Amino acid sequence: MQIYVYDLPTQFNENWLVDKRCSNHLFAAEVAIHRILLSSPLRTLNPDEADFFFLPVYVSCKFSPKTGFPSIGHAPRTIHSAVSLVSSVMPYWNRSKGSDHIFVATHDFGACFHSMEHFAVAHGIPEFMQNSIILQTFGERTWHKCQEVENIQIPPYVSPSAMSPYMLPPPQVRKRNIFAFFRGKMEIHPKNYSGHLYSRGVRTAIYHRYGRNKLFYLRRQRAEGYQEELLRSIFCLCPLGWAPWSPRIVESVVFGCVPVIIADNIALPYSHVLNWSSISLTVREADVPRLAKILLHVAATNLTAIQKNLWRAENRRALLFLEPLHTGDATWHLLDLLSRKIGQSHDARSPQAVTTKK
């Protein structure tokens, strides 16, 4: 398998990197994948040899001055401008109608480009992207309009360089004295947005029910020492936000804290290689009132087995976008899945056949 990376004008990508947040926030896989592909042995400089074409457009680096979060309303226009440019100077988009072209859309609801589901569904995926391959963090087990496109579900981005200072000693020798941990947005009185509540009210229910329970360490504000709190925790709560997925799932695995995923119908990335049921817990949203009993039961029965599986190094590696490409890391797995889309005849050039760092 070979991939051609379009050399777009810098206003589509590199110019955004003056803001350091661009390459480190939860949507930053669009930056990491681009960088990794540039030095990948699967990259070709000859587009006539390419199986796939990658468009490096950073659409998540325009941060709202009010909230500090990425503003993505401009994304469809910006990506369309990039497509218009490459299709006017090279024949490959028009030749395949974009079917062999790859975009990264690591937002709440993928290429629907909105943080709230009802608006995302109403917008849908832009028509010009509907023949292409989307790399997205969003995924559900049943049909959803925002995954009605050829896609590969990838992990949320967590900066490997930010994680590495906390990796020694390894997770299995850490003293864990926090039973159940969550730090993040938990509204006491959630706002009603046209009949929709943030987190479908799950985070609010957790806070009201367990805010004074000594088994639970719940904090509603950001603070220094978050990584140390993860390392001290046995169970890490990963409830949905506006979207079902969360970078907390990756953070929990990396820091050896059992992810407790509370997001009905969520699909998890790389389930073809990661046995999620052996390294995490899934709790139905309706079962939040029973959450303490569920966690106590697991702690008394099969916690040791879950932790043993969780602490295997290959599980952590599979969820991190390492630079350069490493065998078994997040980019390696997405390239493996991508290679399967072009048939068995390309096996000799799949990631398994390429020498990468161990």
pLDDT of residue 193: 85
The strand order across the sheet containing 101-104 reads 3-5, 52-54, 101-104, 133-136, 151-153
Predicted TM-score (pTM) of this structure: 0.92
pLDDT attached to residue 246 = 95
Which pLDDT belongs to residue 279?
Answer: 98
- 82 conformational bin, left if phi > 0, alpha if psi -120 to 50, beta if neither: alpha
The CA-based dihedral angle spanning residues 358, 321, 30, 114, taken in that order and rounded to the nearest 10 degrees: 150
Distances in Å between the Cα of 12 and the Cα atoms of 80, 81, 128 are 11, 9, 18
* DSSP labels, 287-342: GGGGHHHHHHHHHHTTHHHHHHHHT-HHHHHTTS--SS-BTTSHHHHHHHHHHGGG
In angstroms, the CA 73 to CA 209 distance is 36
CA proximity to 103, closest of 147, 53, 143, 140:
53
Q: What is the pLDDT of residue 347?
A: 40
Q: Show the tokens assigned to 319.
A: 């969820």
Distances (CA, A) of 93 to 9, 85, 124, 126: 17, 10, 21, 16
What is the bridge-based pairing of β-strands 196-197 and 192-193? antiparallel
pLDDT means per 10 residues, the chain with 358 residues, are: 97 94 93 97 97 96 86 94 98 96 96 94 96 97 96 96 84 92 93 88 97 97 92 97 96 96 98 97 98 98 96 95 96 96 49 44
